[in-house]
Structures are given as C-alpha cells and as structure tokens.
Structure 1
Amino acid sequence: MIYLDYAATTPMGPEALRTYQDVAGTFYGNANSLHTRGTDAANVLNVSLETLRQTIGDVSVAITRSGSEANQHVIHRLLSAKQFQGHILSCRTEHPSIRDYLRDLADRYPALQLEDVPVDEQGNIHPKDVEDRIKPDTILATFAHVQHEIGTIRDIRAIGTVLARAGVPFHSDCVQAYGKIPIPMQDAHLSAISTAAHKIHGPKGLGAVFFSKMMEPNDELPPGTADVAAIAAFAEAADMQMKKGREAWTHIGELRAKMAERLPVDFRVLGEIVPERQSPYILGVRLPEMEGQEAMLACDREGIAIATGSACRSGDHGPSETLLALGYSPDRARTFIRLSFAYETSFAEVEEAALKLMNIRSRRAKNAPR
C-alpha cells in the first residue's frame, strides 16, 4: 500500500524501535524504585527527558498519553489557575481535541467565554484580528502553529508578540509542527506547546507538553509506573527528526510540489502558496463534485491510504470544520481530502498515487448520471 496519511500517524522509525527494544530489555526496573534496577531505569528516564527538553530549549516537559491529552492537559492547567473564569481566544480550525474540549468547558463553567478569531481563506490568523479581540479578562489564547488539515504555518511570532503585550498566556498545538519546522518558543512568547510522539516516528500512546520555565519549572510524568522504554524511544525519534532538519523539508517539499503538479487540473489545492508559510508535509485538496469519503474508499481499493481530515474525527461524517471556517458551503466542505508525506515517501509512490487519483476521477466522471 502507498501510505499518504502520515499526518494521522507514522510507523516507528528503526532507531526509535531499536531504542525501545534495548531499554525494555535492559532497563526494565521501576524508575521509582530505590534499588539498582530502579535507579538505572531512572537514569535512562532523566536522560530521555533532557533530550526532549533540548529539542525546544529552556523548558520543562510534561509527558502525557497522547497529543490530544497534551492539549487538554495544558489548557486545563492554564484555565484552572484562573478558576475557569474569563475570556478565551481560539479559532474554528483548531484540532478537535482543543475545539471540542473548550466548548465542553464553556458549557460546564458559565464564567468562561469562548471567542473564535476568524481565519482567511488560506487558514491564516492575522495578528490584528487577535489584537482586536483581546479583552481585559482574556486569560488564554490557543492557536495551532501548523493547521492540521491544510498545513498552513501561522505567524505565531507576530501573534505571540500581540498577546505578550496584553499579558495573555499563549498555548500552541504543535503536533504537526514539532520536529518538522522550527518552533520559536521564546520569540513567540509561548507559555506552552503540545506534541505527540507518533507523529514523528515515535511510539503511540505518548504526548508531551513543553512549558516555558516561567510557567512550570518542574517536569511531570503520568501517574503510575513510567514507561521508560517508550519515553526513551520518543526522545530518540525526536532527536532523529531534528537531525534531518532542512534535508527533510526540502525532500518533502519536492514531493508535495510533484503531487500538486500531477493532480488533475480541477482538483483545488488548499493552503498557502508561499512555501515558507506552508508545511510540505500536508497537502489539502478539494475534489470536484466528489465527496472525500468516497474518494478515500476508492483510494483504499486502489492501495492508497489517504484521509478526509483529522483522524480524531473518525466516525464524524459531517463536513470539515476547517473548510467551513474557510468559507466553504457544507456540500463543498465534504469534498475535502488530505494527503500527507514523510521522509521515506518516494517520488515513484507520488507518481503512482497521482495517476490512480486521476483514474478514480475519470471513472467517477464517466459513471456520473447524465
């Protein structure tokens, strides 16, 4: 199968898998135990946490059980400090783990007011729109660095500067950014960012929140026995991802450009046309007169894995909330598909996938009622 759904999840990389096996087999002690096996495991854990911290800078790290939990953990932490009272800025194109959680909190706590900042047709958030909506009681702003369905890279430096002037804590969902583009933690005045191991060839079941040292000076682990092997594999995957750096960006950018070039002319590519403001890892496409769900199933029969949006929306057959926020009608929003790439994606796979998409489109047009 040609796998083009890396934004949903990635396979574990060989280095991370080897690290997991080595640590699980050798350093199997409980890191809370005081005997030698326990202290050996604790040492591996501490080294792994330090490796993760160094991928961002002067931060502390809280390990969670997923990227979604990381988002909710940090939001809950920041809002509870304000007794769940005040004004929150976000937008409709945030990941469901943020959008749905904020709506749930607003229902549970009447003193919370949630306001959506608009996005333009490329998914950008303009700093002036943020500034215009800040109130004296604004207690949190949360905006993703990379939009998870169409891949737009937001100018979080400019947004963070506006928020910092007003003293508003700033959280960014960096699940689609971490390990792929530089994250300006200090320059953007970020209070915290969220990440997920399985988006960067690490193990599933692990996320992380990186807190500014001004916000949270101590590292945190989930309750219970720490999965030292998984955390070590996460750290190894993060280190490998960072080392690929510009080389990966260039290769994947060429893949995305080739796919966009090969798609039928009536397929509409979404996102930013400026390369520096578009993640090459994600290609969002709106199909002509064909629902994304139909295209996804047709692709699966042809041996291609694609998505109709965030995997966390699985089971939700409604139109993409992102496309609705971009101004599309519900019918047009249902025609969305997402292709996503990784360093190991080949040009041959892109060529074959594009050809099969064209064939699917041709068959669909030929069999359409007249």
Structure 2
Amino acid sequence: MEDKIYLDNAATTRCHEDVLKEMIPYFTDIYGNASSLHTMGQEARKIIENARARIAKYLNANPNEIIFTGSGTESDNIAILGTARKLKSRGNHLITSNIEHPAVRNTFHHLQREGFEITEVPISPNGTVSVKDVEDAIRPETIFISIMYANNEIGSIQPIEEIAKLADDRDIIFHTDAVQALGKLRLDLKNSHIHLLSASAHKIMGPKGVGLLYFKNKCRHPKLGKFLEPITYGGGHEGGYRSATENVPGIVGFAKAIEIAYNDLEAEQTREKKIRDDFITWVLTNIPESYLNGSQENRLANNINLGFRYIEGESLLLYLNDEGFEVSTGSACSSHSLEPSHVLLALGLEKAEAHGSLRITLGRDVNQADMNNLKPVLKQVVENLRKLSPLAPH
C-alpha cells in the first residue's frame, strides 16, 4: 500500500494519528459502559459528555441538541423516519431532491411504501436545487423536507440556509444530510433554520462506526411541539432517541477529528481548491472529449468528477488502480451496482456518459505532486481504453 495514492476521500478517510491516540485509552483503560453506575462507567459518561460539548462548540450548537449514532446513514434514518411518523397526523407529504445519498433516497422510498407521498425536486445542470422549485413543491399537507448540504458524487453545495428558512417560515421540519459538508464548510447551527442535521466521523479522518444527529431545541418546535420519535427501542440511551451502548472510543475520536478539521478549515479548503482547479483545468485542456460533471465553482473544495466519452468508468478505475491511484466512479455505498449513477443522470447525462465518470476526492494527505503524477497516467489510460472501445472514433 505504500506506493498507492489514495484519492477516494469522499468514501472514507484515513484515521488521523492524533484521533487514534486519543481513542486508545477508551479501549484499554477506561472501557466501562457509560450507563453503569460504578466509577469506570461514570468516567465513561463524563468522557461522552465532554466530547458532546467539544463538538457542539465547533458547530455552534448546544450539547443537548446532539446525539451520537452508529453512522451517517443511521442519523439520516432517525431524522427521516422519526419525523415523518411522528408528524403523520398533520400531513403525509415529504419533499427531497433527486440527487440524495442512498441513505436518504432509499429511506424516502420506504416511507412511500408506508403511504407517504414524495416529491423529488430536480437539480439544475450545475447540480444545485432551486429554492423556487422547493417552494413550488410545498403543499398544505407537507410536513418534512430533506435536502443534502453537499453532494457526495459531484460535490455541489446546495442553498441550504435559504431552503431551511423557507421550511421554517411554513412550520415544516427541515433536515439536511451534511455528511460531506462537515469539516469542509463552517456550520453555524445556532443561527440556522435547520431543524435536523446528520453527519459522520469517518469522512473527516475520524473513526468508522460513529455519527451524530443534531436536532434544534431538543426536537421541540414552537408550533409543532415534539417533532421526532425513536425508530429503535431499548435502554433509552442518547435521550431515548438512539438506544444502544454508546461507542465511547468512537465518540472521543469524532470530537478530536472535528477539532482538527475546524482548527484550520479555511486554510485547508483553500489548499485543496487550488489543487482541484489545477487538475480540472489540466484534464479539460489536455484530454480530448473530457468534461466536468457539475459546476467548478459551486462545489466542495476536494471534489473532482470528470467524464470521458467512449470509455467505461469502471475500466478506468481498475487501470488507474493498477497504476497505484485509488479513485472512484461514484458513491461507495452503491459501487457494486451496475446501474449508472442517479446523480449523473439527474444532471442530464445519457447512460453511456454516466458510465464514463470518474470521481477523485482530495484530502489532507493529498498534495500537488500526487496530482501531477496522476495527470500523464490518466491521459495514457484514457487513450489506451479508447483504442479498445468500439464506440470511440478511430
């Protein structure tokens, strides 16, 4: 693995050394169950509450507005299922976008089978949702809206605050999947209209297996009252919203990862943006029949999603992997699917074009030299694959 250059940081990131160092004592020394009443158990409880407060500080939220979960997917499920079912007596209409992560998209599809009506708002050619389209989709029976903060495939950043305010003004609960946004954009939840926000540790050099769910005012809306109910039942952990023994080492690691991400957030994003833009410009200039998926400006600093006509993205991925570059063709959660990306199809691409996509996502371990090394390799691999393609002009 030493010779590999890892460029799939939207799927997961390496666990930072300082994160691992902070976690280790809670595997081996202070390993008590945080619900136990003995000394070690209560020490574990103090550690969790300290981590909750640390995270809340960076998100400008109250500690009692954050619960810990097992993943971003679980956080999405609690937010979506828990709110829809709790407020069903008020209406059965839900709104989302057509580029959501499967953790959101498939949860909405499940609610559809429960009798809820779903509206999927389309995106523009640059990958963003129109606030006007969301407004037009609202009905008297609309109770819930979920739009992702930033897309995991094309990195497009959505007008979340405008949509959240639109929902809040109409007493509609608003949720955002911020799994890709956390640690890349500075979130100020106290001064936001967002009611629910999901995030995950392993996208920001934290451990796998721990996520968070933010809920404004402890799930209480001034007009709707309590707007969330649990979707699993057990010992009543995390305020009763997520019953399961808390992952103390993971929670500690999450707090440290957020601290690292936020301490130099702007500087790191500026660095990644410079590398991103240089690479995109080089590819579009030097590799014929290549194109960028989504907007170059309105996207996460670490996200590059390129299309190459006449070749399959999977073949491109495998050849680049053999050359020591680990990349992706889309979301890791659906990478084994033979279907083209629903996000790229939503952009208006044909199926053949969607199959020819390549996602490169930068991280703290990626530097300009790594991307300079990729440039000639990518160009050569694309040329070689086109020579073999029956679709390419010869």
Paired residue total = 366
8 Å CA contact 1:62, 1:220 repeated in 2? no
Cα offsets for 1:342-368 (capped at 9, x unmatched):
122111111111221111012123334
The residue type equivalent to 1:49 in the other structure is R
CA distance in 1, matches of 2:161, 2:176: 11
CA distance in 2, matches of 1:87, 1:198: 33
Match in the other structure for 1:262: 282
Quickly say closer, same or farther: Cα 1:188–1:128, change in 2 above 3 A.
Answer: farther
Aligned residue among 231, 254, 269 for 2:251: 231
8 Å CA contact 2:164, 2:193 repeated in 1? yes
| Post-superposition offset of 1:44 | 1.0
Q: CA RMSD in A?
A: 1.7
CA distance in 2, matches of 1:239, 1:34: 30
**After the TM superposition, which residues 149-188 of structure 1 pair with which residues of structure 2 at under 5 Å, given as runs?**
149-188=153-192
Aligned residue among 337, 340, 343 for 2:361: 340
Aligned residue among 230, 248, 252 for 2:268: 248
CA distance in 1, matches of 2:34, 2:349: 51
**After the TM superposition, which residues 1-370 of structure 1 pair with which residues of structure 2 at under 5 Å, given as runs?**
1-59=4-62, 60-83=65-88, 85-107=91-113, 109-110=114-115, 112-213=116-217, 215=219, 219=239, 222-263=242-283, 264-274=287-297, 277-369=298-390, 370=394
If the length of structure 1 is used for normalisation, what is the TM-score?
A: 0.94
8 Å CA contact 2:100, 2:147 repeated in 1? yes
The residue type equivalent to 1:92 in the other structure is N
CA distance in 1, matches of 2:376, 2:252: 40
Q: Which runs of 5+ in 2 are unaligned?
A: 221-225, 227-237
- Identity among equivalent positions (%) equals 28
**Could you tell which deviates more after superposition, 158-167 or 12-21?**
158-167
| Post-superposition offset of 1:82 | 1.4
Cα offsets for 1:13-42 (capped at 9, x unmatched):
011100111332321122122221111111
Classify the secondary structure of the residue corresponding to 1:7: coil
The residue type equivalent to 1:180 in the other structure is K
The residue type equivalent to 1:80 in the other structure is R
Quickly say closer, same or farther: Cα 1:89–1:224, change in 2 above 3 A.
Answer: closer
Q: Which runs of 5+ in 1 are unaligned?
A: none
**Could you tell which deviates more after superposition, 20-29 or 341-350?**
20-29
Cα offsets for 1:305-353 (capped at 9, x unmatched):
1111111103211111001111112222111121000122111111111
The residue type equivalent to 2:103 in the other structure is S
CA distance in 2, matches of 1:240, 1:178: 12
CA distance in 2, matches of 1:130, 1:57: 27
CA distance in 2, matches of 1:171, 1:368: 44
Classify the secondary structure of the residue corresponding to 1:93: coil
